[in-house]
Structure 1
């Protein structure tokens, strides 16, 4: 037991253990664990909240469940009274984090950063209390550094250390260029931690190098070193690749309840526990109960997945929407009925048109080639009847119902 733990009364010691159990849930790595325990203990002794840092370069405005892995961990710290330091990389974002990239990233403009950041805040508010977040823009301190300051900062790290990054090593190995400005990204992220005197920095495992830069520079500047808390990357619906919009294996937190529920039901069984642990608000006891009941056969995997899907929808759309989404799923997929709520669109085109044009005009599919593939795969229905002919012409009638795949429905009105 650390000296700080020995100074706590039994009730405080129990509280440290409780918080450690929560913060360790689903975490890939804590660097180092003992320092995290000491920081929590000191927080209780001094009645002073810890400062929890998350840095963001708003490179894309859409948030999906993969992003919420770190946000959910932040929520746990926030619920225990600690302070969230949310850093918007309006300065670093103009450089672009080279992590995981085989080429230099596109540098963002001021307008892109501001637009994406605003969208982030709106979506983050569904997971954490944004009113209690300390919001920082790192241009406030980074833009004030003169060239001498930058040289001094660069003097606190070796080139050999920077070249330890996997992505830099890989690019060198295959002869791909590395621009000098990319070396400064981890330096600036580390300097953010110096300025804000962060106690803990959160990030995915792909941020291992960047977050350790915070510890490195805090030590070089005579500050107490932050703890790195690294979260696993969440596989998408394919069960293989990291969840990503570009991979089309994602669940967006702004998606409609029925779409969100339907996608969640396609999560591979072997990933269910990981999803429960990383992206829901269920307690440790509730998650363990689900796992135990599945292992004993008391809970069928289908029913566990329905609980997961309903929980996800409830978090982002509320209890009523979650109940409706589940009832619609049961009605459509287990009973073969139509959902209670079908999007309605007014048709103003010709009264007869090809099925291909109809699907594209209604934006149910993005292209004619995609529409043909979907028909060939038996994924299109008109008024419940399977469409087998991509040359089919459809007579538009009031109340006509089109279905694409398992989750897309449209009712036309004239």
Structure 2
């Protein structure tokens, strides 16, 4: 194994908190592989780059020679993690959880080394738990301390509902650490209470307590909010390579170093150089984004996927070539109205380029609408039907296309 200082350089890269750092150093100094725990609740079938941040850190631990345990929370998911929530999560059925768990593992193995990953399900020890065991665990936790959690505190002081079963969640997550004998548990920065609860429970049960390591929440494509499907600012791990590349090219320049550190496969030393280049102004953000997008596409779609996606991106956006797979509609949609014209605003709605004629008019007035690559003049809501006498391509901006044939 690498010397402790070299390991710590990799481990601390991109992390938010390591509590306590001195205990982690002592564990590493023993020179034996640590058991690194990450628990995930399969509440959704599809993952995005934000979900992958702790998985990338787990892979770094694997590459350093440590053992990783991925806990699939098919027991805790039935409760739902209250972390960062301002309301009770809607319950999932066991069937939903199990279906989500299968796809979660498939996607996680694109990042982790399957041969070095132990996968366990906490339902195996949570579901058979008897009343005596549950009461014994709950007796080790203090309600007042749980109410100090920011999410619970805010809901309590604002008079918002807190369901009793939500209090059990950190108890069961802590018990997971006991069951797998974790040396270190990872999670998002919003998980720090749950991670420290596991540390306290292990100590109370006479075990060496785990170290808590948190990772930052990845900022989404909008550049402000955390990456989330609900915000529509995400890059899905199952997105097609072309879509993944295009989305990554849209991130703000200042986010490029963060994405390299948290999402790419580049060594920490190379990411440090990228950080410095952005700080001293020598970086070319556009070229850096292209390299980032290639790296991430290769990670999730295989070697060479990044270059292929980049070629497709250049064909569409740099040389203004028409994409091959745009939706096709019948030419008859370009019908002539009583004025002897084609009402272009309605046609844009019919081919799904605009959601309403109002939006279509705004697109036309903004100069983004083209017919066979030729811009349509502002206020041109009714156009000459001769434009649609043969198959043609409608376009708005770089992402909205339709073919009439």
Taking the aligned partners of 1:404 and 1:179, their CA distance within structure 2 comes to 48
**Partner residue in 2 for 1:111:** 95
**Partner residue in 1 for 2:17:** 29
Residues 1:213 and 2:201 are matched in the alignment: no
**Partner residue in 2 for 1:385:** 374
Taking the aligned partners of 1:265 and 1:37, their CA distance within structure 2 comes to 39
Give per-residue Cα distances to partners, 1:261-313, cap 9 Å, x unaligned: 22212211222111111111111221122233344444322222222222222
Taking the aligned partners of 1:109 and 1:377, their CA distance within structure 2 comes to 48
Residues 1:41 and 2:29 are matched in the alignment: yes
**Partner residue in 2 for 1:8:** none
**Partner residue in 2 for 1:190:** 174
Taking the aligned partners of 1:227 and 1:194, their CA distance within structure 2 comes to 13
Structure 1, unaligned runs of 5 or more: 1-11
Q: CA deviation at 1:380?
A: 4.1
2:53 corresponds, among 40, 65, 69, to: 69
* Number of residue-to-residue matches in the alignment: 394
Structure 2, unaligned runs of 5 or more: 336-342
Contact 2:36 2:58 in 1 (8 A): yes
Taking the aligned partners of 1:358 and 1:223, their CA distance within structure 2 comes to 69
Q: CA deviation at 1:80?
A: 2.3
**Partner residue in 2 for 1:157:** 141
Equivalent residues in 2 for 1:133-282, closer than 5 Å: 133-282=117-266
Do the aligned partners of residues 185 and 326 (structure 1) sit closer, same or farther apart at CA in structure 2, a change above 3 Å counting?
same
**Partner residue in 1 for 2:292:** 308
2:64 corresponds, among 80, 86, 89, to: 80
Contact 2:333 2:347 in 1 (8 A): no
Equivalent residues in 2 for 1:324-363, closer than 5 Å: 324-334=308-318, 336-338=319-321, 341-345=323-327, 347=329, 350=332, 352=334
Taking the aligned partners of 1:293 and 1:190, their CA distance within structure 2 comes to 41
Give per-residue Cα distances to partners, 1:73-131, cap 9 Å, x unaligned: 01111222322211111111111111111111111101110121122122212211234
Contact 1:243 1:250 in 2 (8 A): yes
Taking the aligned partners of 1:366 and 1:146, their CA distance within structure 2 comes to 55
Taking the aligned partners of 2:39 and 2:53, their CA distance within structure 1 comes to 14
Do the aligned partners of residues 109 and 131 (structure 1) sit closer, same or farther apart at CA in structure 2, a change above 3 Å counting?
farther
* TM-score (norm: length of structure 2): 0.88
Contact 2:42 2:101 in 1 (8 A): yes
